[in-house]
Amino acid sequence: MKRYMASRLAKIVGITFSSYVAVKYTREQLKRTNVFASEIKNQKESDGIEGEIENSRTPNLDSLKLRNVQIFFRHGARTPLKFIPGVEEAFWDARFLMGSLPHADIEYEVHNIHGGGRQPPQDLESHYAKTRFKGGCIAGQLTQLGQSQMVDLGRSIGKKYLKSLDLNPEYSASSEQDIFIRSTNINRTILSAKCVVAGMFGCNNVKDPLKILVSKRATEILYPNQHHCHLLKAVWTAGWVDFDKLAGFKDDRLSVQSALGFTDDINVNICDCRDVLVARQAHGLALPKQLAPVMSVIEDRATQMITVATCGLESERQSTVPLTGGPMVYLVLHHMDSVVMNKSDSKKMCLYSCHDSSLIPLLEAIGSFDNKWPPYAASVTFELYEDDNGEFWVRTLYLDEEIKVRNCDSAIVTLDKFHDEVNAYAMSPEQFWARCHGKEAIVDPLMDKILQELIQISRSGLRSKKDTDGQYLQ
């Protein structure tokens, strides 16, 4: 612990600055002479030796004490957000698909994380209510299948962590001292959080109403908040609005439209198509036969769209990902530091109920995104351990499988190493909003150039905002 604390104290002063300077090598640096390239090669070889040393002392988990777990999870299965034009509607029977499951039926309260009492208004739900499907279901709502998926996730979490974290097997108001529960202010994520806790403890062991913390939309950081950050509006535009500018995209889009019987006069959103197809498939509803030949095209291009919309263009991600996934990375580091420093408000467990548009930039920020769309109930887990010598270790998992953080050869690394590799992508909420509101200068010239270009694209190419609300949150 002493070793870690000395390292952290040396870094704390520079956190604000390093959070902004996300680009390690500028384009100009990459064009330097072969001599510089040789130096980089020698440095990489040196780093490789250090990595081998790091791996050689990777401890056995059984010898470590678990101190903190943070889990970011996508909500469970839900109704679609939209219709696919030219495709016959499925019958979304609300009598069988909606309603609370008995084994997930616990009392809960939703509170504003910034104070002021109970839940702030959910302006997005009124948008979803405008879309009603055959059978009575409305758009974007957690179904009973989705609830069941989240209960199962909660059972898995409870089995793995309640005992190892020395948590009380009964949930009560005092559990808030050890467990932090955060959700986006949307019904499907709030209910998903409730179901996870019901699965963790069992309904009979939840003695007091569950407290779920949310933020109003204007201050949300658990997804790339493009509606309230002009810089992210520019990033979002490249993937969600100006997608035809992506290499080969227009031809693929036209092939999907041709399968639907449309010409280029109608611009079909491929992500909307995927959303309906995945929701139907999850609930056992028939898939439209005319789209069978282009299913792989829809999957690949939709994934490309949401990745660019939430992370930026691939060549610019060292600059854009700190804005989209950086606030979540900051939360992870912040809670780990609180545990290491034995702060009175430190938590044993942090649960974040969010979206695929949250997990993608988070995974990209830690260098672990596999370019596959996160499924319903997907989760990213960060485990913090301490060994007998007071040294801290981090293990990272995705879909309950170990993953390696950027530049790491093992899924289990020292906390120092974890900090070193992800800190450049971390951005505190205060820093994020200062940037978004133009109150903080951009200190990196390359980032400034990139973002100014993106802003220009947004101003010149942004199509009508009509009917884009809510598409970003999948």
- Determine the average pLDDT of the residues in 369-393: 97
- Which pLDDT belongs to residue 428? 93
Quote the percentage of the chain above a pLDDT of 90: 67
Inter-residue contact 211 to 176 (CB < 8 Å): yes
Task: Please say if the pLDDT value at position 204 is more than 90.
Answer: yes
pLDDT tens, position by position, 5-21: 555 544 443 433 333 33
- Which pLDDT belongs to residue 461? 45
Quote the percentage of the chain above a pLDDT of 70: 80
Q: State the virtual CA torsion across 22, 24, 29, 32 in degrees, nearest 10.
A: -170
Inter-residue contact 385 to 370 (CB < 8 Å): no
- Determine the average pLDDT of the residues in 393-419: 97
- Which pLDDT belongs to residue 442? 53
pLDDT tens, position by position, 273-322: 999 999 999 999 999 999 999 999 999 999 999 999 999 988 889 889 99
- Determine the average pLDDT of the residues in 322-326: 95
Return mean pLDDT, the chain.
Answer: 85
Inter-residue contact 463 to 236 (CB < 8 Å): no
pLDDT tens, position by position, 69-100: 999 999 999 999 999 988 999 999 999 999 99
- Which pLDDT belongs to residue 25? 29
Which domains, ranges and CATH numbers included, belong to the chain? 1-474 (3.40.50.1240)
Q: Give the separation between CA 461 and CA 459, rounded to whole angstroms.
A: 6
Of 95, 92, 96, give the one whose Cα is nearest residue 137. Answer: 92
Task: Please say if the pLDDT value at position 123 is more than 80.
Answer: no
Helix (H) or strand (E) holding 459: helix 445-461
Inter-residue contact 118 to 190 (CB < 8 Å): no
Of 260, 145, 218, give the one whose Cα is nearest residue 429. Answer: 218
Axis crossing angle, helix 415-422 with helix 2-12, rounded to the nearest 10: 20
Helix (H) or strand (E) holding 87: none
Highest mean pLDDT among 158-162, 234-238, 430-434, 461-465: 158-162
Highest mean pLDDT among 2-6, 198-202, 428-432, 449-453: 198-202
Radius of gyration of the chain (CA): 23
- Determine the average pLDDT of the residues in 160-179: 97
Of 12, 60, 34, 11, give the one whose Cα is nearest residue 388. Answer: 60
